[in-house]
Amino acid sequence: MEQLSFPIGAELDQSRVDAAAAELTGRTRSQVQALIADGLVTVDGKPVQKNTRLKAGQELAISIPDPVELAAVPQDIPVDIVYEDESVIVVNKPKGMVVHPAPGNPDGTLVNALLWHCRGKLSSINGVIRPGIVHRIDRDTSGLLLVAKTDQAHLSLSEQIKAHSCDRVYQAVVYGRMKEPEGRVDAPIGRNPLERKEMCVTAKNSKEAVTNYRVLQEYEGFSHLELRLETGRTHQIRVHMAYLGHPVAGDPVYGPKKVIKSLEGQCLHAKSIAFDHPVTGERMRFDSELPAYFTDFLRTLRPL
C-alpha cells in the first residue's frame, strides 16, 4: 500500500478534503471519496468526511491500496471478424462496445469476446487485462481495430504505429463548416488538469498529436470529414476537432451541452486501416462500410 503525506499550506486552507486530495494526487474526486469511505484518508491522524474543511498547518495523509489486476475471462459474445490468420485479427467493433475490461466495465468487452473466439491465443505483451490489444478506440467509436495473436506480431504492429507506417483513416460528422477543404492539426494533447477523465490541447505534460482532415461533404450546420491519424493519443480526433471549434456531432464530453442524443455517442468511425503483415511483410488494407447510425444521421442533414 502506497502512503502519501501532504502538509496543508495557505493555498488549500478551507478546501474540502476530497477536492484537495484529488488535486494533490491527480485522482478523480470519486476515487478519493471511495478512499475516504474506506477510512484511508486522514487529517492529523484522524479519519475525515469527504466535506471536511482543511486548515493550513494540518497534515493530510492518504493510503492508496496496491492495484489488483483482474484477468479478462473468455465470453461467448458475437464479434465481427474482418480478417484473421495465425498472427493478426482485424475486427470491426460496434459502437457501444468497450475494448478491454476496466473499472466500471469488468466484462462484456471486445477482449472477452476475442479470448473466446481465439481460445485464449492472444499476445501477452499488454498483460492479462488487455491481451492482444495493439491500439484502442473509444467505446462509442465504431470501426476497425488491429489485434495481435502473437507477441512477435504485437511488437511489429506497435512499431509500425509508432513509425506512422500503419495508416488509420476515420470518418466523422462535425459541427459547422471548415475554413479550409483540408488541413493538418498539430497540437499536443495531455490530461485536462480540471477534469482528470478528459484530455485537452495543452503544452503541459502533453505528447505530440497530429491529425489530418479532408472535407468530404458540407451540410447545413455540419461537415462530413475524412481524418488520418499520424499519432494515436487518447480521444485525439475528438479533442482536435473541439480545439478547432468543430466538435464531433454527438460527443457528450467535448461537444456542446445540448447533445444529439439519437447518435448515442460521437459520430466517429474507424473506416480503414493498412499495415505491413508482421510475418510476410505484405501490405494489407481493409475498409469498412459506414454503420447505420452514421448514414442515418447523414440522411437527416441538408447538403450545401
Q: Which residue is catalytic, options 138, 151, 287, 296?
A: 138
- Grid cell 491500496 in the structure block, residue: 65
Q: Are strands 210-219 and 142-148 parallel, antiparallel or unpaired?
A: unpaired
CA pair distance 231, 102, nearest whole angstrom: 23
138 is a catalytic site residue: yes
Contacts for 157 with CB less than 8 Å, ≥ 6 apart: 88, 134, 146, 148, 166, 275, 278
DSSP string, 147-198: EESSHHHHHHHHHHHHTT-SEEEEEEEEES--SSSEEEEE--EEE-TT-TT-
Among candidates 140, 84, 157, which has minimal Cα distance to 114?
Answer: 84
Q: Taking a C-beta distance cutoff of 8 angstroms, is the pair 124, 114 a contact?
A: no
User: Maximum distance among all alpha carbons in the chain?
Assistant: 66
CA pair distance 57, 168, nearest whole angstrom: 53
Secondary structure of residue 277 in the 3-state scheme: coil
CA pair distance 81, 83, nearest whole angstrom: 6
Q: Taking a C-beta distance cutoff of 8 angstroms, is the pair 262, 173 a contact?
A: no
- Cα 234–Cα 152–Cα 278 angle in degrees, nearest 5: 80
Kindly list the catalytic residues.
138
